[in-house]
Amino acid sequence: MRSFAAGLSAAHLEQMLAPYIADRQVEASRDGAERGDQRDNGPSKNAAENTWTSSGGSSR
């Protein structure tokens, strides 16, 4: 394993992983857009936390 890792440079790894990285970035931006849509329609995180603490939930 060490001999394999020793032969790889950061540039070589980046070149090998470029397609995977590009796919993950597309998925992340798509997920971010979907979450943005949900945020517009749903309650905010602060509102949910306030509801939890006012209903007797444990505090941090």
pLDDT tens string 6-34: 777 888 988 999 999 999 999 999 888 88
pTM, entire model? 0.42
SS3 letters across the chain: CHHHHHCCCHHHHHHHHHHHHHHHHHHHHHHHHHHHHHHHHCCCHHHHHHHHHHCCCCCC
**What is the pLDDT, as a whole number, of residue 40?**
54
